[in-house]
Amino acid sequence: MRKTISMPDQMADWISARIERGQFNNESEYFRDLVRRDQEEEARKAYLVSRLESGSEQLANGAYSDLTSEEEIDRLFDAEG
């Protein structure tokens, strides 16, 4: 699919500079990379929202433990890693 976009010269110059530095082969590659990153970001956000909703439900149901020290917190994160 072919798309045409408009942008200020400053943005076009930014993209051209990235291509000249060898970070991308062409403008299409640059925009595909932007879309992929946006998709990944949306997936990360959806995952975080899901985890927050799950945690909120667990909290409301009393399914939690009080952590009283940094060591307990560290163990929790080490166990989930």
pLDDT tens, position by position, 41-76:
999 999 999 999 999 999 999 888 888 899 988 988
Per-residue pLDDT reduced to its tens digit, 6-30: 999 999 999 999 999 999 999 999 9
Return d(Cα 5, Cα 47) in angstroms, integer: 31
| The residue count for the chain | 81
pTM: 0.68
DSSP sequence for 43-62:
HHHHHHHHHHHHHHHHHHTT
